[in-house]
């Protein structure tokens, strides 16, 4: 029966990451996958995670099942992080949150839920976007289109085109939006532009689905929630998929959450029951360890302050690396001005390198970037930034 199974294409980013691991070259640099590395080139074990794990160990609790919707102290902490401590949405019980298998799992549960609710499910993603957005929504039965975002000629967002495109959508189209630190471009909307997006979504009865996988990597935890807070204030229904993979450096623990904002608490209670039905038929209930760590931190003022500090360190190191890369390229007299790298947010930069240049970077220098020209600036460090700049200068 498996004769009919075709060879499925590899995930381009994860494939590159695997190829990097087996590359024997000493000076190799991995700018492919979105993983934050320290100055020493290692994925960090955050101080705050170590402390939280110590507490969990001391408790010595048995490994029981979690509720279908996840650890309650975790999900309530997530709501505060997304909407703010004093959010009216929380007080009015309009939002429901379920723990998920990373941000990916949140998108998947959300997509499955929406596919049940919508008669002809249609979704739209930014051009370009994280490719898994398309895969997840298509597999859930959606027809997936795109809206203009990145303008190649200017290297900026084409906001008027984006807004016009949203205005032309059918009612109940699911609009997937990167709440901060856009993957792959590093270009975010301003708060004024977000206000206009909120207005269009409300006027055209669209269903915003905000993906926030890098909260804290742009300008700070509160600042990066600006778009979410604007949607929350608008009174419309929307969804949020959030991830702690990057912000806690807990990639392998698969910890995130899906939040659905409803019109009232009665609707919210029905939506929660539907989300639980989706989860039950998929994996029954979520894994506990990551939720215990994040839950501890979100509910302990001291650990919370430590997390803010850990995140600040990561965020500022990335900013420094953006500065260094642009400066190194300038000093080398590169053919192109890379100052734009310093204005982009989060882990990524759309470098403008062509697929041929990206190929040469890998073949000749062992510098791995994504074919689209996306580079992960969070894997640069003082030890490899100059080499990376020299390689880029050469292939230009
Ligand atoms: N959404 C975006 C935009 C991402 O870049 C990622 C990165 O992995 C995710 C979602 C999913 O994150 P997770 O690893 O938590 O599933
Ligand atoms: O875009 C990235 O690099 C991260 C990590 O299928 C990632 O979001 C990449 C591909 C993938 C899952 C995660």
Over the chain (396 residues), what is each successive 10-residue block's mean pLDDT?
Answer: 93 89 95 96 96 96 97 98 96 98 98 97 98 97 98 95 98 98 97 98 98 98 98 97 98 98 98 98 97 98 96 97 97 93 96 95 97 96 97 95
Does residue 207 line the site of ligand 2, with CB under 6 A? Answer: no
Q: What are phi and psi of 190, to 5 degrees?
A: -80, 165
Nearest atom in ligand 2 to the alpha carbon of residue 11 is 6
SS3 category, 221: coil
Q: Which two structure tokens, joined as six digits, stand for 391?
A: 């390689």
Fill in the DSSP letter of residue 343.
Answer: G
Counts for the chain of helices (H) and strands (E), in that order: 14, 13
Using alpha carbons, select from 346, 327, 347 the residue that is nearest to residue 337.
327
Q: Nearest residue CA, atom 2 of ligand 1?
A: 213
Does residue 226 line the site of ligand 1, with CB under 6 A? Answer: no
Cα(54) to ligand 2 centroid in Å equals: 29
ipTM comes to 0.97
Report pLDDT for 220.
96
Does residue 11 line the site of ligand 2, with CB under 6 A? Answer: yes
Category of 235 on φ-ψ map: left (φ > 0), alpha (ψ -120 to 50) or beta: left
Burial 198-236 (b: 16+ CB within 10 A, else e): bebbeebebbbbbbbbbbbbbeebeebbbbbbbbbebeb
Report pLDDT for 10.
82
For residues 133 and 174, the answer to whether their CB atoms sit within 8 Å is no
Report pLDDT for 250.
98
Q: Nearest residue CA, atom 1 of ligand 2?
A: 34
- Mind telling me the catalytic residues? 130, 211, 246
For residues 128 and 148, the answer to whether their CB atoms sit within 8 Å is no
For residues 118 and 172, the answer to whether their CB atoms sit within 8 Å is yes
Mutational test site, ligand 1, from 43, 101, 104, 347, max ligand atoms within 8 Å of CB: 104
Q: Check: CATH 3.10.20.30 for 2-46+308-395? A: no
Cα(249) to ligand 2 centroid in Å equals: 14
Say what the pTM is: 0.97
Before 184, cis peptide (omega within 30)? yes
Q: Delimit the domains of the chain by residue range.
A: 2-46+308-395, 65-287
What sign for the dihedral angle of Cα 296, 298, 303, 309? Answer: positive
Q: Which CATH architecture has domain 65-287?
A: 3-Layer(aba) Sandwich (3.40)
Find the ligand nearest to 241 CA: 1
């Amino acid at each position: 029966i498996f004769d009919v199974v075709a060879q499925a294409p590899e995930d381009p980013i994860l494939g590159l990451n695997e190829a990097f691991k087996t590359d024997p070259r000493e000076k190799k640099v991995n700018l492919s996958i979105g993983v934050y590395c320290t100055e020493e080139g290692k994925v960090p074990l955050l101080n705050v995670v170590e402390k939280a794990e110590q507490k969990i160990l001391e408790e010595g609790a048995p490994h029981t099942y979690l509720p279908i919707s996840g650890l309650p102290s975790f999900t309530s902490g997530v709501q505060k992080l997304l909407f703010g401590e004093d959010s009216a949405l929380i007080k009015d019980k309009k939002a429901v949150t379920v723990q998920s298998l990373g941000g990916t799992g949140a998108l998947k549960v959300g997509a499955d839920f929406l596919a049940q609710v919508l008669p002809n499910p249609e979704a739209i993603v930014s051009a370009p976007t994280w490719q898994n957005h398309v895969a997840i929504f298509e597999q859930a039965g959606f027809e997936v289109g795109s809206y203009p975002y990145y303008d190649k000629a200017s290297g900026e967002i084409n906001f008027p085109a984006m807004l016009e495109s949203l205005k032309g959508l059918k009612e109940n189209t699911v609009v997937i939006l990167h709440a901060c630190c856009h993957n792959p471009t590093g270009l975010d909307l301003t708060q004024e532009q977000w206000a206009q997006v909120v207005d269009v979504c409300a006027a055209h009865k669209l269903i915003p689905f905000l993906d926030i996988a890098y909260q804290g990597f742009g300008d700070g935890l509160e600042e990066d929630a600006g778009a979410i807070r604007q949607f929350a204030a608008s009174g419309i229904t929307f969804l949020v998929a959030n991830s702690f993979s990057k912000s806690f450096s807990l990639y392998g623990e698969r910890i995130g959450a899906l939040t659905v904002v409803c019109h009232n608490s009665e609707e919210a209670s029905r939506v929660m029951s539907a989300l639980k039905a989706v989860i039950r038929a998929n994996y029954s209930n979520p894994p506990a360890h990551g939720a215990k760590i994040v839950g501890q931190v979100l509910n302990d003022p001291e650990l919370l302050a430590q997390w803010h500090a850990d995140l600040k360190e990561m965020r500022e190191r990335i900013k420094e690396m953006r500065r260094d890369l642009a400066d190194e390229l300038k000093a080398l007299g590169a053919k192109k001005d890379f100052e734009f790298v310093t204005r982009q947010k989060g882990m990524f930069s759309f470098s403008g390198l062509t697929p041929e240049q990206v190929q040469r970077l890998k073949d000749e220098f062992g510098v791995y970037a994504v074919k689209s020209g996306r580079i992960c600036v969070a894997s640069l460090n003082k030890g490899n930034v100059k080499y990376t700049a020299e390689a880029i200068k050469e292939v230009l």
